[in-house]
Structures are given as C-alpha cells and as structure tokens.
C-alpha cells in the first residue's frame, strides 16, 4: 500500500538544519571571588572542549578579570556543536559596601536582549541572528554564610526577573553532609519566603513526566557542588576530585556532591528549555516593555 507520505522525516530534516547551524549557550557566573566559579565551569565543560589551547588562554582571562568578560569556546559531542560563552563577573559581594554591585550584571543581561531586539528590528535583518542572550545564571552561595544574605535576596530578585537563575552552594565539601542538608533546607525556605522565582518554571503545557522531572530538580535546588580541575588516581582509577585530610572526594560521586545532577540538568534534560524559556519568557518580556515605551 502507498499510504506512507513521509512527513515523519521532518524531525530528521530539522536535525540536519540544526546540526549545520549549531547553537549558542550563554552562561553568566555570579558570586564572590574564590567561590570556585571558574573551577566549576571548567569541571562541567572541560572534557568537551574542542580547542584546549583556547581553554588555557581563556582560563588566564577568566582568572584575572576585574570586569564583565565573556569568553567563547566551542564544545562538541557526537557531531553536535555548541558555541559556549561563559560570562564571568567581577567578585560579587567582596566588599562591605555592595550597594548597587548588581547593576553591571543586570545591565549586561539587558544589553544582550537589546542587541538582539535591534538586530531583529532591522529592515533587512540577518537570517540567523547572533544570540548573546544569557540562558542561565549560576549563582554561587557562600557555604560559610548562615543563609541568604540581604544582598543575595536583593540580587536574586533582580536576576530572576531577567534570566534563568540556578543557585548553587559553592565548595560544598567544606561542610559535613548533615550541615549541607540543613543549609539546603534553610536556603529553600528562604527562597520560598522571598518568593524568588526560579527556573524551571511551572507551565500549563507540562506533561506529567515534565512535572515529575521538574519537581525532582526543585528538590535538588540549591545544588551543593564541588568542583575540581585535578585528576587523581584512586585504586588504579583516575577520578576528578579533591584531596582532603580525611581522603579524596570524587566530584562525580552523587552521595558527596550534586555536581552530576547539575550537569545533567543543564546539559542533558533542560538545555533546550533554558534556551527556549530565555527567548519566550525573559526576552519576550524585555521586548514587550521596550516596544511599549517606543509607542508611548
């Protein structure tokens, strides 16, 4: 019978187009200096960087930065190419007087929205607009603080209005498992109390399996992470870990660190959502308010 038409190949057609074009992923890092921001990012992405030369150079830049400094690198896995831009921000909350220290960060995020809008509104716009819009903000909480500081609340409120914020407990190997559980619970309560809206957002379109997955992610937030750029040999096996007086911590060990959960969340289960929500929620909000202002 000649019933087969072939519109089921649309997914392959789209895939081919998508593979050819590649895509951008832009992540901004916010937190005090010394919280392990550069280390974590390198732990998440290092193994898929194409150009290790570039990585060295990029690290130099990242480590010395005193201003907001985007660094772009190419990642590849099974033929899929990602142009990853990491935006490092100068040590945040380092000084006693932090009044307005979020201003440049928020400005950077809004500037990228503005640049995208400008390109979109050009009479003869490019077919593919370069996308520098920030898809995720990793927000590093100091494990030494008792909870959210007033500064954290203030900054988180502003950041969540313009981008997808993912809070992490930095250097969580500096706490015992019990301390970490208590700290996590406390932060969760405070986030709820201050009505800080985090990604992934609940949506009416969500199917049941999305709901279950997102609930398990919300349970994990804030991710208690451990980063390391060191590869250590333990019983003949090479692991990425950190040495402590009491032994070696393997950052991939799920009983000691949420690192693997965070990486799966960002790159495996919610990568496309991070990009889509940026465009459909955060950028759309910016676009609407800008266009309204022009009309008035």
* Nearest residue (CB) to Mg ion, 85 versus 214: 85
Alpha-carbon 174 to chain mean position: 22
Given a contact cutoff of 8 angstroms between Cβ atoms, the answer to whether 210 and 170 are in contact is no
**CB 38, min distance to ligand GDP, A:** 4
**CB 110, min distance to ligand GDP, A:** 24
CA distance 185 to 220: 10
When asked if residue 226 is in the footprint of ligand GDP (CB under 6 A), the reply is yes
When asked if residue 180 is in the footprint of ligand GDP (CB under 6 A), the reply is no
Tell which one of 25, 26, 39, 164 touches ligand GDP (CB under 6 A).
39
Give the CA distances from residue 275 to residues 101, 170, 283, in Å, rounded to whole numbers and listed in that order: 26, 24, 10
Candidates 18-26, 27-35, 47-55, 203-211; binding stretch for ligand GDP (CB under 6 A): 27-35
CA distance 294 to 292: 5
Alpha-carbon 21 to chain mean position: 22
CA distance 174 to 22: 39
When asked if residue 261 is in the footprint of ligand GDP (CB under 6 A), the reply is no
Tell which one of 152, 173, 258, 273 touches ligand GDP (CB under 6 A).
173
Residue 65 DSSP class: -
Given a contact cutoff of 8 angstroms between Cβ atoms, the answer to whether 250 and 76 are in contact is no
Neighbours of 278 (CB within 10 A): 24
Tell which one of 38, 85, 112, 132 touches ligand GDP (CB under 6 A).
38
Candidates 34-42, 125-133, 180-188, 284-292; binding stretch for ligand GDP (CB under 6 A): 34-42
* Nearest residue (CB) to Mg ion, 38 versus 257: 38
CA distance 117 to 111: 10
Q: What are the residues facing 24 on neighbouring strands?
A: 83
**CB 232, min distance to ligand GDP, A:** 13
CA distance 142 to 59: 22
When asked if residue 37 is in the footprint of ligand GDP (CB under 6 A), the reply is yes
Q: Which residue is nearest to Mg ion (CB)?
A: 38
Given ligand GDP, Mg ion, none, residue 222, with its beta carbon under 5 to 8 Å by kind, binds none
Q: By CB under 5 A, what part of segment 2-41 binds Mg ion?
A: 37-38
Given Mg ion, ligand GDP, none, residue 105, with its beta carbon under 5 to 8 Å by kind, binds none
With H, G, I as helix, E, B as strand and everything else as coil, classify residue 242: strand
| The token pair that represents 296 in the structure block | 């008035």
CA distance 241 to 134: 29
| The token pair that represents 83 in the structure block | 């142009």
When asked if residue 171 is in the footprint of ligand GDP (CB under 6 A), the reply is yes
Q: Which residue is nearest to ligand GDP (CB)?
A: 36
**CB 20, min distance to ligand GDP, A:** 35
* Nearest residue (CB) to ligand GDP, 134 versus 225: 225
**CB 279, min distance to ligand GDP, A:** 28
Q: How many residues bind Mg ion (CB under 5 A)?
A: 2
Given a contact cutoff of 8 angstroms between Cβ atoms, the answer to whether 182 and 145 are in contact is no
- Interface with ligand GDP (CB under 6 A): 33-39, 171, 173-174, 226-227, 242
- Interface with Mg ion (CB under 5 A): 37-38
């Amino acid at each position: 019978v000649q019933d087969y038409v072939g519109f089921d190949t649309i997914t392959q057609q789209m895939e081919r187009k998508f593979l050819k074009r590649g895509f951008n992923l832009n992540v901004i890092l916010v937190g005090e200096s010394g919280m392990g921001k550069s280390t974590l990012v390198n732990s998440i992405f290092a193994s898929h960087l194409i150009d290790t030369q570039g990585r060295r150079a990029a690290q130099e830049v990242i480590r010395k930065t005193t201003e907001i400094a985007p660094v772009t690198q190419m990642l590849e896995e099974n033929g899929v190419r990602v142009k990853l831009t990491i935006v490092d921000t100068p040590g945040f909350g380092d000084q006693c007087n932090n009044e307005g220290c979020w201003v440049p960060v928020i400005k950077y995020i809004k500037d990228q929205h503005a640049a995208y809008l400008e390109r979109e509104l050009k009479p003869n716009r490019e077919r593919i607009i370069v996308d520098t819009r920030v898809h995720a903000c990793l927000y590093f909480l100091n494990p030494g603080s008792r909870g959210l500081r007033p500064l954290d609340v203030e900054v988180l409120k502003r950041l969540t209005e313009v981008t997808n914020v993912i809070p992490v407990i930095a250097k969580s190997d500096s706490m015992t498992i019990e301390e970490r559980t208590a700290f996590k619970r406390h932060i969760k309560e405070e986030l709820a109390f201050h009505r800080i809206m985090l990604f992934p957002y609940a949506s009416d379109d969500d199917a049941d399996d999305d709901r279950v997955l997102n609930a398990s992610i919300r349970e994990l937030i804030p991710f208690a992470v451990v980063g390391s750029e060191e590869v250590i040999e333990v019983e003949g096996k090479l692991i990425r870990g950190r040495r402590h007086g009491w032994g070696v911590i393997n950052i991939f060990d799920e009983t000691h660190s949420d690192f693997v959960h965070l990486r799966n969340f960002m790159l495996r289960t919610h990568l496309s959502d991070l990009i889509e929500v940026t465009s459909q929620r955060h950028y759309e909000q910016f676009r609407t308010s800008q266009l309204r202002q022009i009309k008035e």
